[in-house]
């Protein structure tokens, strides 16, 4: 109900693809708003022709947004644990599937650079 908001709810600009809806719901739940699912409204989302042509880029954005969501909505130990798991899995799989492992490592690098830019890591 938009009458319950001082201004129109917005998606977080930190997200480019993936998890923006999760973040949206978590932020507004924390403010005391109710989030619900209804069948009376539907949104049809066309798959991206760009990310479907580049599955590694799709994976990179997905992992980056996943880490961003963890950083914003969980505690630091959960984030560190997931960062380590993704990093180790990528390094182990590097000789097996270079493209997928590389996409995971790029996502981690992008996430770390994002946090440095904001002064969240040293």
**Do the beta carbons of residue 35 and residue 28 sit within 8 Å?**
yes
Q: For residue 62, give the 3-state DSSP assignment.
A: helix
Q: What is the Cβ-side half-sphere exposure of residue 121, based on CA atoms within 13 angstroms?
A: 13
Segment 41-80, tens digit of pLDDT: 887 877 766 667 888 999 999 999 999 999 999 999 999 9
| Report field, pTM of the whole predicted structure over 0.85 | no
């Amino acid at each position: 109900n938009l009458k319950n908001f001082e201004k129109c709810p917005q998606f977080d600009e930190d997200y480019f693809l993936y998890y923006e809806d999760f973040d949206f719901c978590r932020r507004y739940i924390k403010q005391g708003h109710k989030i619900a699912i209804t069948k009376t409204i539907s949104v049809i989302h066309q798959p991206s022709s760009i990310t479907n042509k580049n599955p590694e880029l799709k994976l990179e954005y997905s992992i980056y947004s996943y880490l961003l969501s963890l950083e914003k909505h969980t505690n630091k130990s959960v984030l560190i644990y997931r960062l380590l798991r993704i990093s180790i899995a990528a390094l182990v799989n590097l000789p097996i599937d270079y493209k997928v492992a590389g996409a995971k490592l790029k996502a981690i690098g992008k996430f770390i650079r994002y946090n440095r830019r904001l002064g969240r890591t040293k």
